Amino acid sequence: MQKVGDLVIVDYADLLIDPSTISTKLQTLFTQAFGCHDDNTTQTSESPLGLLAIRNIPNFVEYKTSFLSLGHKLATLPQSYLESQMTDPKSMYNSGWSHGKEKLGTKPDYAKGSFYFNPIIDAPGTQFEREKYPSSYPCNIWPSEKLPQFEDAAKSIGILMKEVVVLLSKHLDVFVQKQCPEFPIGLLESEMQSTEKVKGRLLYYFPIDDSGHTMNEMAENGIKVCDDANDSWIGWHNDSGFLTALAGDMFLNHETGLPLAKEDIDIRAGLHVMDRRGEVIKVDIPEDCLVVQIGECMQIITGGKLISTPHCVRSVNPRMTKNGEKVARISFPLFVDTIPSFALEMPIGCKRADVL
C-alpha cells in the first residue's frame, strides 16, 4: 500500500485476486480510503477522503493520454457544428455536446463544456426503455466527420475504466458486508457488471478571465463555490449515483492547445475534496492512476458504510500563472450506475439516520 499525501493507492494486480484471500489487506486499505465517521482512522492523524487510486492498470496511461488530448480539438470545433450536429435535447443533453445547457442558479453555465457518451454500447437498453428513460439511456452521437479518431479513443478508455470499477466493486462487496452483515454479498459486482447505464463525460473547463465574471455570476445566484468566488470552475457537490471513476486531468493553453506543466500554473487549481473531518484537501491524482469515488446512491444501499465524496473543482487564477497564459483544464469522469429500475433501498435493519 502506498499513499501520495492523503490519497490511498492500490495496485491493479490486487484487484485480480479473489477478495476472500486478501480481505484483511484490502479492508485496511479501504478503511483508510473510504472509512466512515466512526472508524478508528478518524481518531488518528489520518482522515479518509472517500477516494481510492489504482495504479498499474494495463494500457491506462496510453488510452487516457490519447483521449484527453482530443478535448481541446473538440471544444474548439465550430460552435455551429457542435450546436446543430452534436447536441441531443431529447436526452436533456445527456448525449453529445453540452455547453450552457446546465444552469447554476438562474443563469446558464458557460464555464465548462461537456461531451457525454456511453462507452460500452451505442444504443443502451431496449427501445421501450430508451423512451421511458431518455436521460438514462440516450443513444451516442459521435463527431466522426470532424474528429474520426474520437470514438475509438473514447470507447477504449471508457471500457477499460468500467472494467476496473467492476473489479473494485467485487472487493467493496466484501468490505461492506464485513461491517453490515445484512448487505447482500455480490450485489455491487453483479449490478456494476450487468449495467448499461454508463456515462462518460469529457469535460473542458474554459479559462476564467481576470475579472472572474463567470464565477461572480455564480455567487450572485447563491451557488456555493470553492473557497473564492473569483476562481472556481464548479462548486461543492456530491455525485448522485454509485461509483465514479476519474482519469485525472490535463492543463493546457487554451489558445494554442499545448499542454502545460502543472508547476507553471496556479498550484491551487484542480480537484478538492472534503475529508471526514470536514477539512478541504487539494488532490493531485498521479498521472498513472485511476481514482474511484463514492456517490450518494452507494451511500444509501450500503447503509452509510460507504460515504459520498464532497468535492469541487477550483479554476486557475490568471494572476497565479506563469506568462499569463489562458489555462484550460480537461478531465474525464465515468459514472457507473445501476439500471434505472433498480430499487434504491437501505440494507435490512438499517435506519435512515445510518445513511445520513
Whether residue 175 is predicted with pLDDT greater than 70 in this model: the reply is yes
Return the higher-pLDDT residue of 38 and 125. 125
Q: According to the model, what pLDDT value does residue 19 have?
A: 84
- Domain of 308, CATH number, reads 2.60.120.330
Separation of alpha carbons 272 and 119, rounded Å: 27
Whether residue 212 is predicted with pLDDT greater than 90 in this model: the reply is no
333: Cβ–Cβ under 8 A, 6 or more apart, which residues?
200, 201, 203, 244, 245, 246, 247
Grid cell locating 312: 469541487
SS3 of residue 270 by DSSP: strand
Q: According to the model, what pLDDT value does residue 42 have?
A: 43
Count: domains in the chain = 1
Find the distance separating the first CA and the last CA of the chain, reported in whole Å: 30
Q: Which of 196-210, 216-230, 247-261 has the lowest mean pLDDT?
A: 216-230
Q: What is the mean pLDDT of the chain?
A: 88
- pLDDT band of 44, cuts 50, 70, 90: very low
Mean pLDDT of 45-61: 91
Is the C-alpha dihedral spanning 168, 169, 170, 176 positive or negative? positive
- pLDDT band of 4, cuts 50, 70, 90: low
- pLDDT band of 95, cuts 50, 70, 90: very high
Whether residue 57 is predicted with pLDDT greater than 80 in this model: the reply is yes
Range of the domain at 83: 2-355
Q: Which of 85-89, 236-240, 316-320 has the lowest mean pLDDT?
A: 316-320
